[in-house]
Structure 1
Amino acid sequence: MLLPTLFIIVVSLLLGTSDSRLTLDYYAKTCPQFSQIIQDTITNKQIASPTTAGATIRLFLHDCLANGCDGSILISSTPFNKAERDNDINLSLPGDGFDVIVRAKTALELACPNTVSCADILAVATRDLVTMAGGPYYHVYLGRRDSRVSKSSDIDGNLPKPTMPMSQIIEIFEKRGFSIEEMVALTGAHTIGFSHCNQISKDLYNYSKFSEYDPQYNPRYAQGLQKACSDYQKNPTLSVFNDVMTPNKFDNVYFQNLPKGLGVLKSDRGLFGDPRTRPFVEKFAADESKFFQAFASAMQKLSLVGIQTGRRGEIRHRCDQIN
């Protein structure tokens, strides 16, 4: 993990010295309750709905990888604009992620009106939920502004899909400045959370004339998934855990599952099947501390992608609409 002083230099280089307003204590004077309010909100929500951590991490990734960490994923569509969240790839984002951000924003607006951006709330809530689930702590620099734009058309080609070949997924991360190791580490977020059955139905039923299901699956696991997902056509919300062993604990078991054929998504199984990504799967499976270190560093880096500061954005009154 980068040291705070070194990281400030990195922030300055990324933003340009005239616009580098991100600091660890950005709200110390304007909203001293900031950290406690977020901590209380995410704790209550995670206890009530244990899938919140996985949902929020996914929301954060989908926000940052598309147009940068600007909270644009949170904006609702209008009759005149189809927003990012209504793009096909984002329709499966769980509601718990959106809900916890709305709750935190509501509490913060009561305590410190017009002060805290939705983008900062999402970044810190994600970090705190990762830590609460047993994952690593990492510094989140604050001072982001919220985007005034959210267009569904901006998503296409910027987010990885489970059905994509590994080369395409690697390319998406590389154009955002991430190495293959960083990409594999970020994918380790699948250690918590779930996937909808309709995302894997083609891998489970009538896969080919030679096999009913994708042969990369462990056979017993595939049969279990078939049973769990049997009503997916009638119930589109039906889902399965990404990590069948420790679904609510942030650990390295996700990587240990992949060589055993226990990856839910095609892209999960592809990580072990591709010679470019397999060494990192094996590295993280063997040593949880190395995974945690790589994940924390990659998340810290991701949290700075495409951010808006100063007059380039706004502090939204509500996270789901532009002021």
Structure 2
Amino acid sequence: MSNISAAREISNPLIEQRADPWIYRHSDGFYYFTGSVPEYDRIEVRRSETLAGLTDAEPVVAWRKHESGKMSANIWAPEIHYVDGKWYIYFAAAWTAETNEGLFDHRMFVLENESANPLEGQWVEKGQIVTKWESFALDATSFEHEGTRYLVWAQKDPSIKGNSNLYIAPMINPWTIDINRQVMITTPEYEWEKIGFLVNEGAAVLKRNGKIFITYSASATDYNYCMGIIWAAETSDLLDPTSWIKSEVPVFTTNEANSQYGPGHNSFTVTEDGRDVIVFHARSYKEIVGDPLYDPNRHARVQLFGWNPDGTPNFGEPLPDGKNLI
């Protein structure tokens, strides 16, 4: 089977009931997938040599929540990264056993695995990522640029109204940041970022065309959830907030005609033949009973995206369920 024909077999949703989807294509030829499970009680990883194969790939439990303490509830948004020959999973967890009470108790944590195959070996807890404040923090992602590894994450600054802003800091090692160089790069300011909650979260990094792009998600996790974008020149000081330019409008939003509601918390990968793919979750219906966070049907989806003449990404609109990738 050719790479192109394999890509054609992909239809959405790629994986049902997996919010906050993260897909990473490693140098071993495998795609690795993780995301939030509806029970919010564990971290799973699966892999496949094709994107389409992730649908039926057997998930392996990498880690389960603690019975009590800081990592005992609401295990959210894991990401798997490969850094300096080891695997790392970044995730957020709360410490209150009662989920509603622990909803905004989250902090960020790191797991490490030395095995060549992260579905094997042992995941070791490296502890909490310590930031400038002991406050609500989640959605850590990591990237390298010109010899420096950076962490980007969402956090509540106790002095700023709202739920979360995006921050960047250089990393001392894969589980430690330089808190003295932590800076904010975006805060909810437009109306589309402030519906229900004042939220900037779920960052994903894309390097292309001389720029570093960071997409993020905004507003409540219902049909108002949407994606924004900021970018900086690759030659700029990424720790200078003025280096970052922010789109005044969202770049990926609900499409009622296609029955795609609340697209967001994305990541990026490529097809087997190298074409750009956005990975995101969305629901296929608008009306939700109860708290949207406990509605399990944010399914993982993938689709191709292109580029505008000015070098910025063009994500188009979320396609209807069943629509093939190409």
TM tier, shorter chain?
A: under 0.3
TM-score, normalising length: structure 2:
0.24
TM-score normalised to structure 1 length: 0.24
- Counting helix residues as a fraction of each chain, which structure ranks higher? 1
Q: Which has the higher strand share?
A: 2
- More relative contact order in 1 or in 2 (CA 8 Å, sep 6+)? 1
